[in-house]
Structure 1
């Protein structure tokens, strides 16, 4: 069985905020309070996506505020992420409470809805004829010039094809172009936007979102994969079965201030040797090995940054001559976030 070695003096250095890519604001001005662009006030609601009138997810008594910046909401549609996006976009009406964007209720105001970029899990383009014609019709109906957005995302080659020939991810990428084409939006809501990044590079998407946030938009994106939004969002919220259960510093984010690297070795003897050697590295936050004699084993290495863990492993391997099979960064999952949250709650209750 494996044994743990406590190493390093860094302690738990989790950051309350994630750093935004694409040239976000830094310094004291970045922390100045700003009025919320989007407010949810004790909202109960459901999405409209499910078949037969059944919702995929619901929200229960949710109160949240989103100021200008990038916000990530972690969870699955059954937890209410799609419902959240539809309510903010004005595609659904809350059953109780109020949803406000720029001080107004989006479900009541078609004018306001034109100032909200929305990428939802529902196709809106006409599914017949040529792509260029369908885009032109949608642009006219929505009052949006999407040509620059399509060019920026590298989607112009799709315009000459027929709608029926598009793969699902290609149609989704066009929907994303419309969401990003709204001029000076009050809010942008994106439900699992990385679904479209098979065509649209994630880096280009995040740079565009950062620019919109700097111009004053509240950018709200959902994801069921925490690593997709790591290093992107200014604020992170975790939802579970329709309720917000943790935000920012209370999230217990395993990766915001602590990263883990798994090192694979041929047997437990080598794992023990490597773990013992790494136990002397002051830069590491923790080391543990797992495995049995005669079987493939692993060493888990925790550090404040992934490159610190990799450098420590490389130095230990060079000193010992141990043969490493492979290295694998450990990405946080929704399940690991919930486990970390429950542990923190239990620790606070025991004090």
Structure 2
């Protein structure tokens, strides 16, 4: 692999997962082509959009149906030496069979070439040391995924770390440490791929976000930019000072923010409870950094305390709906750039109401004179009607 080659390369990849009932596919990839280097890349989508299929194929768990995948210049499904440098957290945990969790961790580490390592060294930093003596079959779903996440984040000299929902369904309380580990892996030169149905998790982890929709990339952007279905926004939890009229402080904050040119919209929701009551404030605009500075300035002016600030993200339902609308718009725009279409009020046989306009056909040359066509023969007169005996006769008696 040359120095300028991507760590992960996909070329026209078609793939399916096997995560549905009876190992049927829930989603797949359809002709995906992509190059990824060092960094954290978050793919937002549902399993039906191909997130599980992407994780499994780049990790070498299954080969693509068509197309090619290269990690470090080799196909991961056919290169055990490459798979040893790939850390993976899949949708379903699959720890090696062993008498204890600690033994299963040791087997997994030996399979990737590690020799002298105590399982507690891997489990304890994430608060999982108490699981080492347990039987792997006794672990719950989130506990087993937590152990596999610890294994993935400790991959030696990793080329790729593929993580499906690393912040969901994992029995780890130190999620801040998980984010720090992911960041350290990327800074060390690894490619970290996160697949998730949570736009908020994608923003929290990714340097770059890809929107995966029905097996294809529907959009991409920086983590600080807006996703389809919502503009750039911040959520802040603020607390007014200890005063009888604490609601007035929050309203003053909203009024000051509404007058700032960098803020496009502001809303707030007060929480129930005894004073001083906290409130959630949502601020949106074109630039998140500018919105954050405006929020801090307004809080000082209004005399309220900011407890926390975080980016606000639309839900996966909003993202998918917005993506559907965007793709429909693109299809319409593509059609509008094709040949003009005219509405026809007359419909000829075999022709629809919409008829494509064509240049006028040349006027045909006059046909040679033909013999006159005889007029159609006159129809014979109707025979006289027989008199009805029930009708009175026309003469007198």
Task: Tell me if TM exceeds 0.5.
Answer: yes
Corresponding residue SS for 2:63 = coil
1:271 touches 1:289 (CA, 8 Å); kept in 2? no
Moved more, 234-243 or 135-144: 135-144
Match of 1:16 in 2: none
| CA-CA distance at 1:228 after TM superposition | 1.1
Match of 1:190 in 2: 163
Q: Cα distance 1:256–1:100, how it changes in 2: closer, same or farther (>3 A)?
A: farther
1:1-351 equivalences in 2 (<5 Å): 35-126=5-96, 129-144=99-114, 147=119, 148-248=121-221, 252-253=226-227, 258-261=232-235, 278-282=257-261, 284-287=262-265, 301-303=283-285, 304-305=288-289, 307-308=292-293, 310-311=295-296, 314=299, 330-338=312-320, 346=329
2:42 touches 2:196 (CA, 8 Å); kept in 1? yes
| CA-CA distance at 1:215 after TM superposition | 2.1
Structure 2: runs of 5 or more not aligned:
239-248, 270-279, 338-397
Q: Root-mean-square deviation (CA), in Å?
A: 4.0
Higher RCO, Cα 8 Å, sep 6+: 1
1:128 touches 1:164 (CA, 8 Å); kept in 2? no
Once residues 108 and 237 of structure 2 are traced to their aligned partners in structure 1, the CA distance between those partners, rounded to angstroms, is: 51
Q: Cα distance 1:166–1:274, how it changes in 2: closer, same or farther (>3 A)?
A: same
Corresponding residue SS for 2:167 = helix
User: What TM-score do the two structures reach when normalised by structure 1?
Assistant: 0.72
1:252 touches 1:337 (CA, 8 Å); kept in 2? no
1:275 touches 1:287 (CA, 8 Å); kept in 2? no
1:46 touches 1:58 (CA, 8 Å); kept in 2? yes
Once residues 290 and 195 of structure 1 are traced to their aligned partners in structure 2, the CA distance between those partners, rounded to angstroms, is: 28
Match of 1:8 in 2: none
Say which structure is richer in helix: 1
CA deviation digits over 1:152-198, x for unaligned, max 9? 32221111223343222111111112212221011110111112554
CA deviation digits over 1:84-143, x for unaligned, max 9? 011001111111110111111111112211111111112222466322233333333443
